Amino acid sequence: MGASVRLLTIPNRHHLPTSLFLKKLNHKPLPLSPSSFRPPSLPSPSKIRPNIFLSHRNPSYPLSKTPFSQFLNPFISSNRFAHIVLGTQERLFDWHFAHDNEKGSEIGVTPKEGPIVTVVMLGWLGSEPKHLRRYIELYNSKGIHAVTFVTSVKDVLSFDLGKKLEQRIAVLANELALWLSESDEDGRERCLVFHTFSNTGWLAYGAILENLKNRQDLLEKIKGCVVDSGGDPVLSPKVWAAGFTAAMLKKRSSFVYSSKEAGEGNEVGSPLTLGKVQMKGAMLMETLLFAALEKLLSFLLSLPEVNGRLTKILSVLVNNQPSCPQLYLYSTADRVIPFQSVETFIEEQRKSGREVYAFNFGSSPHVDHYRTFPDNYVSVLQKFLQECMLIPNEVHKVKSQPHQ
């Protein structure tokens, strides 16, 4: 195995048979022995965190003592592993450490006190890392580290119907599991808070919970979940088509504007400010795309395999979320996720005994609450983090809130 891994790095390896390679290199194959199974040299583990597969681990067995973990961890932690197994050169996720402190020995506003907190940001469909920058800065300013994970349209509408996306989520779940399982010299607790965007990020959260279902000790370290513009548990082709249309057309889609903005038409570069002929063309294109996607998704969501996978994740979100507090940030004007569905889900979670908070921003568009009402957004989020005991209580005034 060791010899074969080294051969992968030889230029133009596909033009000559392996035997001729070895002859030219004057190199004889090594016998397969335990000493020959060595991973290639890799980047420093302080820069790239190692991952361990949860599906192959005894849930009651400590992560650090998993058989062969010392051999596997350096290899699995490398980008090379992601390229070989997942067939991609894209980043799977990104760490953003508060105050440039990689090991997280401090938590900003309360240095060397309280838990070490990381927020896991799961982006909306079509989001890019740059779109989460303001949210990262918001959490980092409070001494909270951040891990970001984004999903493109091709991740879902691909030939494998999202299986590669599930693999990416599994790798992220393993990364989080190992980070939670490591201990710091000062003995401070490590914990997570999730911040999901739209139904795509919310479903990714459900998939992570499914990956961690056999690790109750880790689930107990999830201290809160923020659901921004998501929380619709119904597999509706119409809702999914609206989300895909918004992701594909971005600012050219009317789905990213509130009904008030649609009436005013004051967003520069949007189809609402185009001439009448151009606007009709843009709206026609959006209508045709939406109709086509609705038909396609009606078919895909009815496939037994796809429907079964999604239903399983939704079941986790409905029935088996951690016992941590939940915060739902939504808007009556959201044209992608129906606010009625979110409010119904909120009530069901409360009836099941969950500690649930909610804030209706009223007129802000889908996943645009922070940009539209920055002061309210920060105030509501800060109050929630205080309720979760993740940041210290401070007197914080909430400015003119639209709807609550």
Q: Which of 214, 149, 218, 209 is nearest to 189 (CA)?
A: 218
φ, ψ (nearest 5 deg) of residue 292: -65, -40
Which token pair is 115? 């838990």
Handedness of CA 109, 111, 117, 122 (dihedral sign): positive
pLDDT tens track for 74-107:
433 444 333 333 444 457 899 999 975 444 333 3
pLDDT tens track for 19-67:
443 444 444 444 433 333 333 333 333 344 444 344 333 333 344 444 4
pLDDT tens track for 133-156:
999 999 999 999 999 999 999 888
Distance CA 299, CA 33 (A): 51
Q: Which of 127, 368, 404 is nearest to 260 (CA)?
A: 368
Residues 6+ apart with CB under 8 A from 113: 107
- Secondary structure of residue 253 in the 3-state scheme: coil
Averaging pLDDT over each range in 28-42, 211-225, 248-262, which range is the top one? 211-225
* Domain residue ranges of the chain, discontinuous segments joined by +: 1-38, 94-235+301-387, 238-298
Q: In the CATH hierarchy, which fold is given to the domain comprising 94-235+301-387?
A: Rossmann fold (3.40.50)
Distance CA 7, CA 13 (A): 8
